[in-house]
Amino acid sequence: MEKLKSGIYKIAAAGYENNSTDIEVEIADNQIKKITANKEIVPNSLEDAVFSQIPQKIILDQSLAVDTLTGASYSSKGLIDAVANVIKQAGGDPKEFEYGTTNNSKEVDKNNSTLEQKSEYQNWCSKPDKIDQIKETDFLILGAGISGLAAAVQAGELGMKTIVIEKNSFVAGNGGGVEGIFGINTDMQKKAGIHAEKEEIIAREQELAQYRTDGSFWVDLVNNSAENISWLLNQGVQLTNVDDYHGTCAFPTFHWFKGGFASEGYVPYMKKRADELGINFVLNSSAIGIMYDGDKVTGAYIRNATGKVTQINAKATLLATGGVGHNPELIRKQGWQTKNLHYCSMPSNTGDGYMMAMSLGAKDMLMESAEFMMNYIQALPHEGVHLYIDPINGFMSLPSGGPVVFVNQDGARLVNENVKKYNLLYQRMAIKSTKVTYEVFSQKIYDMITKGIDGADKILAEAVKTNDGNSLFKADKIEDLAKAVGLPVADFIETIKKYNSYCANGKDEEFNKEKEMLVALDEGPFYIARLDPSNLIGVGGIGSNRKFEVIRDNFDKIPGLYVSGVDSTMQYRNVYTITLGGSACAHNVNSGRHAAMNAQKYIETL
């Protein structure tokens, strides 16, 4: 930022219908100190509000990003423009005042550097009281999951001195449970006789996202996907076959990792390759703060398991920390219920990267991010992180819907219960808008869903008996289900009565559920289960450009800071469009690789 020339500047602030007000702006110590109107102003008038409130906000935040006052937009804008002109006269750039330079929008750290930040997360850009050691590197990667490993290997191939920090005692993070990766027109597909038009895939994704995303992100990902898979195979990654992921994908583009998990087909090979390239992995260590010198990110502060803090000076830093999937506060911030939330993610995924980026004023995409949220029933078995693939309680089984009935707190239906047919994650989306949602089914329906699963009846009987969380009840009469969970009895009975009539007529007159999914609740015993949330991962949170540079709200980059993996994903809005199975993994690899490539180009300019 250019140093402002101190002095008192006189200028006219334009108003409504060519009126203007002469003002004086005092600049001192590189800050806007005072803004005074040189005219008599009627106390408590709208004009008084303009020339008192707006100067106060500009001076407090050292920012021109001030809302105009309702009813006085011309005068407000004229005053802001006048101050911008003074900044120019003082030798500064008004654009540098779009986000503020002191006080609420910037904080002075112990190095006397100013930090553009959001005060809620300001501790994430503060210097620790004690630094035990200092290290130097070219490239610092925070996180060793799918994207962190891809970035590490790519950086190694480019000859960059690289350090990777990982919270856990092992590499993989959430990535170990990933089953496969998206790719289009790969060699594996060609050998299998599979062909798909790239433009059809991109168009489908934009349609599902209601055209709310910048499609260029999808174009980049899709166009890079085949080359990324070839690159992975060259690193030793093992892929077995390609299909449409259990029939859930619109196109057969899902490439399975050996053994069905990245922990077997991806992680060990990428870690081995990174080791061969001389990448320095530091495990059992967490980033506790980002370093910023007022112009660019210069590294991070790291704390190890013994509590010792290392300052790592880096020319470029990559956030690859795996999202916010194990942070209930950030999940609630998105509007999700967190009561009885079951985590399928690693406990280490607490949104550290997101909070570090926000502390520097990064573009906040969390409210539009796509949590991988599903349903589960607390009374049924639900131990471990792989609940989502449980044959009874998983994201494609009983709690996901189908020939069942979902009702809200009023005992009314709320959605086509087979909406998972279009996207597995739709099973939870409508429930986000309810106080509570229950699933109603009969023994007959349960037997249909669990056909071929050994011991399914015994598991259900035990679940009803133990009833973990008071979440599952059995009754011979429909009205007794309502009484068991406190639903309005008459309304609930009417809902089931109407539903049974739809089943008899073969037409769902409310949500148009498929005829084959209409199974009447006319023969007991009956069950009612509360559907609680189960979160696999969070997808998104930090705004970035196509170079995977972290950006501010005005899309300007934060120099030296990159983001990859599920911390980013600008191609999604609110729901993960799983019709392209493995596209998040494909993004993780693509963003990790290209973040490293772009970081090298940036470093060359320093």
Decide if domain 7-97 falls under CATH 3.40.309.10: no
Decide if domain 133-182+234-367+538-604 falls under CATH 3.30.1150.10: no
Q: Please check the confidence at residue 98 and state whether its pLDDT lies above 80.
A: no
Q: Please check the confidence at residue 44 and state whether its pLDDT lies above 70.
A: no
Helix (H, G, I), strand (E, B) or coil at 242: strand
What CATH class does 373-535 carry? alpha beta
Give the mean pLDDT of 50-68. 80
pLDDT value at residue 548: 98
Residue 115 banded pLDDT, cuts 50, 70, 90: very low
Whether the Cβ atoms of residue 179 and residue 584 lie closer than 8 Å to each other: no
Q: Please check the confidence at residue 104 and state whether its pLDDT lies above 60.
A: no
Whether the Cβ atoms of residue 585 and residue 180 lie closer than 8 Å to each other: yes
Q: Please check the confidence at residue 108 and state whether its pLDDT lies above 50.
A: no
Residue 197 banded pLDDT, cuts 50, 70, 90: confident
**Where does CATH 3.90.1010.20 sit in the chain?**
7-97
Give the mean pLDDT of 116-145. 89
pLDDT value at residue 111: 36
Which has more pLDDT, 192 or 491?
A: 491
520 closest CA partner among 532, 535, 505, 536: 505
155 closest CA partner among 138, 171, 170, 143: 138
98-112, 137-151, 180-194, 309-323: segment of lowest average pLDDT:
98-112
Which burial class, exposed, middle or buried, applies to 106 when counting CB atoms under 10 A from its CB (0-12, 13-18, 19+)? Answer: buried
Give the mean pLDDT of 586-590. 97
pLDDT value at residue 136: 98
**Where does CATH 3.50.50.60 sit in the chain?**
133-182+234-367+538-604
Counting every residue written for the chain, the total comes to 606
Residue 40 banded pLDDT, cuts 50, 70, 90: confident
Q: What is the mean pLDDT of the chain?
A: 90
Give the mean pLDDT of 5-20. 87
Residue 17 banded pLDDT, cuts 50, 70, 90: low
pLDDT value at residue 57: 79
pLDDT value at residue 45: 64
Which has more pLDDT, 130 or 118?
A: 130
Give the mean pLDDT of 213-236. 96
Q: Which residues pair with 281 in a beta bridge?
A: 164
Give the mean pLDDT of 381-401. 89
pLDDT digits (tens, 9 = 90+) for 404-414: 999 999 999 99
Q: Please check the confidence at residue 101 and state whether its pLDDT lies above 60.
A: no
Q: Please check the confidence at residue 252 and state whether its pLDDT lies above 60.
A: yes
